[in-house]
Chain A
Amino acid sequence: AQSVAQPEDQVNVAEGNPLTVKCTYSVSGNPYLFWYVQYPNRGLQFLLKYITGDNLVKGSYGFEAEFNKSQTSFHLKKPSALVSDSALYFCAVRDGGDYKLSFGAGTTVTVRA
């Protein structure tokens, strides 16, 4: 069975400060990890993914994420947050042998001006 945990319901940061959204996962095989963002009343948009290779993955809008196998984590980061980054962020995992993605409950990010 595969699962994802996003331990923080909300993250609040000031504009210009670093932003981190945490994600831990559990799979029986090799993990395929994804981050998505959802703006109000919109569908999810893909940010980045880790399949294999370099543990540091760069994605859209200046976001990056670091895959840490020993800690089973895939935290999303942005060096300097913008007010426009305020949204709901989802981490998702797929076990290597499965077709399905499992999503975390989501983390609401608020960036204040």
Chain B
Amino acid sequence: NAGVTQTPKFRVLKTGQSMTLLCAQDMNHEYMYWYRQDPGMGLRLIHYSVGEGTTAKGEVPDGYNVSRLKKQNFLLGLESAAPSQTSVYFCASSYSSFDEQFFGPGTRLTVL
């Protein structure tokens, strides 16, 4: 099993550009999450999904959109990137909300 994979691993954007981060999991997990990690701030939840076709806002959702059209995939979109969105983005999945989350390797995004 590959576990949780993220595409791409690195990306540099200019202010105003758009992009989509792809997360895929092969563990048949219902729950999927997108976090951002910034120095000294831990991980902050952007959006999450409790099943195929469902999404919900987390702690810092502004400037991001998500979609979960297939159970195994969770996409994070930035419609108009801003320098404040420079961060490392992690996707995670879990079987239920009681279970531990499995994390992907992360995407390092820089917005100039």
A residues with CB within 8 A of B? 4, 9, 32, 34, 36, 41-46, 49, 51, 90, 94, 98-106
Contacts and interface: CB of A to CB of B under 8 A. Distances in A.
B45 A100 contact: yes
Contact of A49 (B40, B90, B100): B100
A100 B48 contact: yes
Contact of B42 (A41, A45, A46, A105): A105
Contacts, number: 54
Interface in B51-78: 56, 58-59
Given A34-B100, A46-B101, A94-B97, A101 B106 contact: no
Number of contact residues on B: which range applies?
20 to 34
Interface of B: 4, 31, 33, 35, 40-45, 48, 50, 56, 58-59, 90, 92, 97-98, 100-106
A45 B106 CA distance: 12
Contacts of A103: 35, 42-44
B100 A46 contact: yes
Contacts of B4: 43
Contact of A99 (B48, B92, B100, B102): B48
22 contacts: A42-B105, A43-B4, A43-B92, A43-B103, A43-B104, A43-B105, A44-B92, A44-B103, A46-B100, A46-B101, A90-B42, A90-B43, A99-B31, A100-B48, A101-B45, A102-B59, A103-B42, A103-B43, A103-B44, A104-B42, A106-B40, A106-B42
B106 A43 contact: yes
B43 A32 contact: no
Given A43-B104, A99-B31, A99-B48, 13 more contacts: A42-B105, A43-B4, A43-B92, A43-B106, A44-B90, A44-B92, A44-B103, A49-B100, A90-B42, A94-B97, A100-B58, A102-B45, A105-B40
